Structure 1
Amino acid sequence: MRATQNIGRGIWLMVAVTIIFAIQDGISRHLSGAYNVYMVVTIRYWFFALFTLAVAARSAGGLRAALSTQQPLLQTIRALLLVFEIVIVIQAFVRLGLIETHAVFAAYPLLVAALSGPVLGETVGWRRWTAIGIGFAGILIILQPGYGVFRPEAVIPLLGAFLFALYSLLTRFAARKDAASVSFYWTGLIGALAMTPLGLIFWQPMIATDWLWMGALCLTAVTAHFLLIQAYEIAEASAIQPFAYLQLVWVSGIGIWAFGDILRPNVALGAAVVVCAGLFTLWRARARAETP
């Protein structure tokens, strides 16, 4: 009964995370439509780094113990991958809108499954390969490469999904030697160090009301990541990860309501195919893990 209650709470936490992330994406699109993306991401990482430093300093052993790792190069690479992914996806928000960006980005679990063999040495069976193929057929439905004028920027969120999948796999790889908290601290600090030069080069004056939006962006980012960590601590990832797809629903509503995005039929159909394929790969991964 206790395990069931934990899973139930984990599901509700994941639902809350998807809502907060959707709001965060809407704020990111608003700010990046008015200001340089590099500056927006830099300020976000400054807040993230200050938060991680404050948490690390209060942990057992202090800051040095919290940042101690046997694999600094790996931690640096995975943190940089997340930086690039965030910049790319926010660019896609501005160029394509929230709906189409997230419809394509929903393919990242399929990419995780496809890359888990070469990166982690895991075996990917024919069922999951079939699901991966079907999922990418859904991507083609969204992109419509054979109809009209194909926009090169439509590939941007797919690149972001690839980078996030690689980041996720390297995070799992790092977890073999480092605690999750260590990876969390390195993510914030390396991200801030990497973005600061670009943020200062492309700095722009920001009006007072947008500083309020920037504060909301920073708070939603930290809150969502904190709740996500809490969710994974009390429930199995395979049990709650499927609910992460709800973010596509919330962000579509925000895109239509706040930015006038249009949900085209091919995007809705393609996104449904991608999500179903992704859910199947998650189910197969859980089934394999439960097989003795």
Structure 2
Amino acid sequence: MTQRPGLGIALILFMSACFATMDTTVKFVGALVPVLVVLWARYGVQAAVMALWLARSSRRGGAGFRSAHPRFQAVRGVLLLASSTFGFFGLQYLPVAEFTAITMLTPVMVTLLAATLLHEHVSRRRWLLVGGGLTGALIVIRPGSGLFGWAALLPIAGSMAYASFQVLTRKLASLESPFTTHFYTGLTGSLIVALALLASEVELLPALRAAPHSAWGLLLFIGVLGTAGHLMLVLAFGLAPTAVLMPVMYAQIGFAALVGWLVFAHAPDAWGWLGMAVVAVCGAGSAWLNVREAAAARAPVSALGADTIID
């Protein structure tokens, strides 16, 4: 694919707007329908859209539905679903901008997991960035201030789940078509959530009937935003170098603050802005080191292996 950095940056900005809008919509619609129903819609729409995509591409000689590593697909789907579950529940208690900043800890979480689980060497600069990112999150959360309480642990847990997802993807993403992988991610998530709905006291159809009709459209909107955001990510990494795109992804914090203010009239205070800035700088720095080391090793960083949060 021809390199077009300007278009790649535009797609990343669109992706950031999609995810920020999706998170805000999740927070809003979560007050109208159970969060399990929101999760089911999120992954069900992705599975349906990608199934149509693969069915069309397979007729043209594309990868289609065949997966050479189904266990990889299943584990990857479970990890991403875990990240979304923590995130969707966390959004019911935290403002969108602060929530987004905490989830942007993923690059530093990847560093921690790579050091502890994969026994990779971690340089002093990386440890400084890890410490800086965690410090920024603490500034946002301010333990003991009574602002967020235990709910702040939810996006942190989501970041850990997504970091595990990234470590796995970093090793195996090149083995599968990204479009096939996106289908199985949606399918895995929707099947697991459907089983959770059956085991829980939440009844899908009564919950939908009890919700206002506008909530139905918002559930579809959430699924479309999540699916579109992922596709924009894949396309962007085929158009521009990773080093160009990675810092742009932190625009999601700005979009989250803007959309959260428009919908909920919430704006972070001065300490919140400071903490978000620290997280963004440390996360972008950690991601930049990942890119530079991958380039030095002549190992391309795929779109699915980018150390950023994916809802």
TM-score by length of 1: 0.90
Q: Which amino acid aligns with 1:168?
A: Q
Distance 1:64 1:7 in 2: 26
Distance 1:271 1:141 in 2: 8
After TM superposition, the structure 1 stretch with the greater mean CA deviation from structure 2, 255-264 or 151-160, is: 255-264
Cα deviations by residue, 1:16-60 (Å, 9 ceiling, x for unpaired): 111121111111111112110001110222211111211222233
Greater fraction helix: 1
Native 8 Å contact 1:66 1:185 kept in 2 = no
Q: Give 1:195's match in structure 2, choosing from 189, 193, 196.
A: 193
Task: For 1:159-178, list aligned pairs within 5 A.
Answer: 159-178=157-176
Native 8 Å contact 2:63 2:177 kept in 1 = no
Corresponding position of 2:242: 237
Cα deviations by residue, 1:183-234 (Å, 9 ceiling, x for unpaired): 2221111111111123454221232122122222222222222222111122
Corresponding position of 1:257: 262
Native 8 Å contact 2:242 2:291 kept in 1 = no
1:14, distance to aligned residue in structure 2 (A): 0.3
In structure 2, runs of 5+ residues without a counterpart are: 298-311
SS in 2 for 1:82: helix
Corresponding position of 2:86: 88
Distance 2:61 2:23 in 1: 31
Distance 1:108 1:153 in 2: 18
Structure 1 residues 11 and 209 mapped into 2: Cα distance closer, same or farther (>3 Å)? same
Corresponding position of 1:41: 39
Native 8 Å contact 1:119 1:169 kept in 2 = no
Task: For 1:104-183, list aligned pairs within 5 A.
Answer: 104-118=102-116, 122-147=120-145, 151-183=149-181
Cα deviations by residue, 1:50-78 (Å, 9 ceiling, x for unpaired): 11211222233799963333432222111
Which segments of structure 1 move beyond 4 Å, counting only runs of 4 or more? 61-65, 118-122, 146-150
Give the total of aligned pairs: 289
After TM superposition, the structure 1 stretch with the greater mean CA deviation from structure 2, 54-63 or 182-191, is: 54-63
Corresponding position of 2:54: 56
After TM superposition, the structure 1 stretch with the greater mean CA deviation from structure 2, 161-170 or 57-66, is: 57-66
In structure 1, runs of 5+ residues without a counterpart are: none
Cα deviations by residue, 1:114-159 (Å, 9 ceiling, x for unpaired): 2234555643221111111111111122222254587111111111
Q: Which amino acid aligns with 2:87?
A: V
What RMSD in Å do the two structures reach over aligned CA positions? Answer: 2.4
Corresponding position of 1:26: 24
Distance 2:289 2:81 in 1: 30
Identity %: 26
Native 8 Å contact 2:246 2:288 kept in 1 = no
Distance 1:195 1:38 in 2: 7
SS in 1 for 2:129: helix
Corresponding position of 1:69: 67
Structure 1 residues 104 and 16 mapped into 2: Cα distance closer, same or farther (>3 Å)? same
SS in 1 for 2:231: helix
TM-score by length of 2: 0.85
Native 8 Å contact 1:89 1:156 kept in 2 = yes
After TM superposition, the structure 1 stretch with the greater mean CA deviation from structure 2, 149-158 or 16-25, is: 149-158
Distance 2:290 2:121 in 1: 10
Corresponding position of 1:266: 271
Corresponding position of 2:301: none
Native 8 Å contact 1:14 1:243 kept in 2 = yes
SS in 1 for 2:49: helix
Distance 1:115 1:236 in 2: 25
After TM superposition, the structure 1 stretch with the greater mean CA deviation from structure 2, 255-264 or 267-276, is: 255-264
Structure 1 residues 183 and 271 mapped into 2: Cα distance closer, same or farther (>3 Å)? same
